[in-house]
Amino acid sequence: MNVLLALAVAVLFGSGTFLMLKHDLIRVAAGVLMISNATTLFIMTVSLHRGRAPIYPLPEDQPISDPVVQSLALTAIVIGFGLTALLLVIIFRVYGLYGTLSGTAHPKQEESPEEIAALARHQRPLQRSPRRVDAP
Amino acid sequence: MILTPLLIAWVMAVILALLDGRRIWVGWLAIGAMAGVFLTTLRLTIRVIEHGSLEIVAGGWPLGLGITLRADALGTVFALVSSGVLLVALIYEVLAGVHERAMPALTLFLATGLTGLFFTGDAFNFYVFFEITMTASFVLTTYGQREREMRAALIFMVVNLLGSSLFLSAIASLYHLTGTLDMRALTAIAGSLEQNSVTFTSILIFVAFCIKLGLFPFHFWLPPVYRDSWPAVAAILSGAVANVGSYGLLRFGGMILERELQLNGGALIALGAASILYGAVQAVSVRTVGEALAYSAIGQAGYILLALGIGGPVGIGAAILFALINSINKTLLFLTTGLNGWLVGAAFAIGAFSVAGVPPSLGFFGKVALFQIGITAQNTLLLVIIFLGSALSFIYMFQIYQRAHWAVDHPEQPSRRPSRLLVLGVGILIIALGLWPEPLLLLSQRATDLVIGTP
């Protein structure tokens, strides 16, 4: 069982890494998701042992499974879920700005007129950050 | 008492999330809340220095069962510097005009995560606060919402999520090895574990925090992110969020996995030296201010690793002191990149002198501590590398100064005066702390005593 789970963690982690190295941003997101699930599975695997559910009243003579691991895995799942949602939102915003999901696109050098107007509306002196310095 | 800064930050963050941060009064409300966090952390620091560490177990559970919050010298000093950095960056942004409604709230969420992370006594709770910090900083990196910021945020997020997954795996395997998550219990048990089993965990933790700190082989995400994010955000990332990396290395490497740190000292020194030289050479060669400062951050992080690799009271002390000084320097330097005008040049020059380690700036004491470790280790090569790094930092800092503030042939519109006075104020603070360094030296000395284990 341990070997099987270890193999599953390895395959998930490996495929996640493979996907993360792709240019397509949706695949990158899928890679991140796979790696975070591989981690959750790893948490379950490292503390795997047989036993009854740890619910009171506890049985006297039987082994009881460790409840801490379950709570760790649950927390990790929730955090991973939230972060995946955030990552997808950022990818969506990037798609809106660049018009493509390919990670190789380069940013435009100048702000568009709408952005300049949006910045000016908030009384902010427009500045490039970082300022480009000229070569000597 | 421990809970006060944490609660102020969290409650105010939730309230501010409902308000429009672009309104000026909301900005000042956020500054007030952040100042509250800073002052209560300061009070807590004084208390910890005078009376020793404080501890709270959540829910009143017996020790070892509940989640502990523990304020000790190491945690409070990092919390103090980080909340100071956040306060300055927030004032800077409010003075310049916030142009996104969530920005003040996000800064306070970041403060919540950082304060919790520095005060927690539980390894898994550390991970949770770590993720709160990272989530807030991911969203903060998008601040500005132009192409470049979104691109920076995407890179930052993907790489750091990988780092977080590695760290979570490390915590799971630590739990598997020791059966506890409490940091004090971990410290007691980890030394007696079988060597081979801990090595894997140590490597995972090391890689996770090096990604966060941006050390040489794990640095690839850092230059585009620091270059492309907004100046105040870059200051927050390099001054406050990078502290997570140095604190984590000190807490997990210096305290819990102390034996592994000593065994792998050579590797740490090699990586640190590579980082120093690589960062400095790259910083000399690049042309934009933000990029040069980003590579400089990689180089400066190398010193922390070098000091940790030497270890012992002198090495750990230098690592703590240098990490704190470095975060103050980097805050000032990144804040000046967004401004124009002559006061800004003066502030930048102070920051540059501090990075190079010229007295009477604060950076001098960091450099003294570093040279001390070279002398203690009786290693000439180490001294040469530290000297070379400092000399190169002098060169690139004044290259930036020359190009950005000195030889500007097209006079630009100077920025608003309050912003310029703020960065000058931070510069004066660096000089003042350099002239009267006792408080900072005392704090880092206490933190060192804690890490080394002398009462």
**Residue of A26, A121, A129 to mutate for B, most B C-beta atoms under 10 A:** A129
Q: How far apart are CA B363 and CA B430, in angstroms?
A: 8
Neighbours of A130 (CB within 10 A): 24
What is the distance in angstroms between the CA of the first residue and the CA of the last residue of chain B? 23
Percent of chain B with pLDDT over 90: 50
pTM for the complete prediction? 0.90
Interchain CB distance below 8 Å, A86 and B169: no
Q: What's the pLDDT tens digit per position in B28-78?
A: 999 999 999 999 999 999 999 888 888 888 777 776 677 888 888 999 999
For the range B193-199, what are the long-range contacts, defined as Cβ-Cβ under 8 Å and sequence gap of 24 or more?
B195/B259, B198/B257, B198/B259, B198/B260, B199/B260
What pLDDT is attached to residue A124? 42
Scanning B88-107 for CB atoms below 8 A from A yields 96-99
How far B379 CA lies from chain A's nearest CA (Å)? 38
Of A90, A115, A123, the CB nearest to B97: A123
| Nearest Cα residue in chain A from B415 | A125
| DSSP notation for B191-210 | TTS-HHHHHHHHHHHHHHHH
Q: Is the minimum CB–CB distance between B325 and chain A shorter than 8 Å?
A: no
Chain B residues closer than 8 Å to A28 by CB = 158
Chains A, B: CB pairs < 8 Å: 129
Chain A residues closer than 8 Å to B139 by CB = 86
Q: Is the minimum CB–CB distance between B162 and chain A shorter than 8 Å?
A: yes
Q: Is the minimum CB–CB distance between A99 and chain B shorter than 8 Å?
A: no
| Nearest Cα residue in chain B from A30 | B158
Q: Is the minimum CB–CB distance between B415 and chain A shorter than 8 Å?
A: yes
Q: What is the pLDDT along chain A (136 residues), one digit of tens a residue?
A: 888 999 999 999 999 999 999 888 999 999 999 999 999 999 988 877 777 877 888 777 888 888 888 889 999 999 999 999 999 999 998 888 888 887 776 655 555 555 544 544 444 444 444 444 444 4
Contact B426, B361 (CB under 8 A): no
